[in-house]
Protein backbone atom coordinates (compact mmCIF):
# COMPACT_ATOMS: atom_id res chain seq x y z
CA UNK A 1 0.00 0.00 0.00
CA UNK A 2 2.80 2.43 0.90
CA UNK A 3 4.70 1.63 -2.29
CA UNK A 4 1.68 2.32 -4.52
CA UNK A 5 0.88 5.58 -2.69
CA UNK A 6 4.52 6.70 -2.93
CA UNK A 7 4.67 6.00 -6.68
CA UNK A 8 1.31 7.05 -8.20
CA UNK A 9 2.65 7.21 -11.83
CA UNK A 10 3.60 3.52 -11.64
CA UNK A 11 0.12 2.58 -10.41
CA UNK A 12 -1.52 4.65 -13.16
CA UNK A 13 0.75 3.08 -15.79
CA UNK A 14 -0.17 -0.43 -14.62
CA UNK A 15 -3.87 0.43 -14.68
CA UNK A 16 -3.77 1.58 -18.32
CA UNK A 17 -4.95 -0.81 -21.03
CA UNK A 18 -1.83 -0.22 -23.17
CA UNK A 19 0.42 -1.59 -20.43
CA UNK A 20 -1.86 -4.64 -20.14
CA UNK A 21 -1.53 -5.24 -23.89
CA UNK A 22 2.26 -4.87 -23.72
CA UNK A 23 2.39 -7.25 -20.73
CA UNK A 24 0.33 -9.90 -22.57
CA UNK A 25 2.53 -9.59 -25.67
CA UNK A 26 5.66 -9.90 -23.54
CA UNK A 27 4.33 -12.99 -21.73
CA UNK A 28 3.37 -14.64 -25.04
CA UNK A 29 6.80 -13.80 -26.50
CA UNK A 30 8.56 -15.27 -23.44
CA UNK A 31 6.48 -18.45 -23.74
CA UNK A 32 7.34 -18.82 -27.44
CA UNK A 33 11.04 -18.21 -26.77
CA UNK A 34 10.97 -20.77 -23.91
CA UNK A 35 9.40 -23.34 -26.27
CA UNK A 36 12.11 -22.67 -28.86
CA UNK A 37 14.85 -22.98 -26.24
CA UNK A 38 13.42 -26.30 -25.02
CA UNK A 39 13.19 -27.64 -28.59
CA UNK A 40 16.74 -26.52 -29.42
CA UNK A 41 18.21 -27.86 -26.16
CA UNK A 42 16.46 -31.23 -26.66
CA UNK A 43 18.00 -31.40 -30.16
CA UNK A 44 21.54 -30.81 -28.91
CA UNK A 45 23.70 -33.97 -28.57
CA UNK A 46 25.25 -33.07 -25.20
CA UNK A 47 21.76 -32.58 -23.75
CA UNK A 48 20.78 -36.06 -24.96
CA UNK A 49 23.89 -37.54 -23.35
CA UNK A 50 23.13 -35.80 -20.06
CA UNK A 51 19.51 -37.01 -19.98
CA UNK A 52 20.44 -40.58 -20.95
CA UNK A 53 23.32 -40.66 -18.43
CA UNK A 54 21.03 -39.79 -15.55
Count the domains in the chain.
1
Report pLDDT for 44: 66
Show the domain range for 14: 2-53
Give the tens place of pLDDT for each residue, 2-50.
555 566 666 666 667 888 888 899 999 999 998 888 878 777 665 555 5
Report pLDDT for 9: 66
Report pLDDT for 25: 93
Between 10 and 54, the higher pLDDT residue: 10
Instruction: Report d(CA 53, CA 46) in Å as an integer.
Output: 10
Predicted structure pTM score: 0.43
Report pLDDT for 42: 72
Q: What's CA 39's distance to the chain center, in Å?
A: 17
Amino acid sequence: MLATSRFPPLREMVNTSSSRIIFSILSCWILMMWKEVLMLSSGLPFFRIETSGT
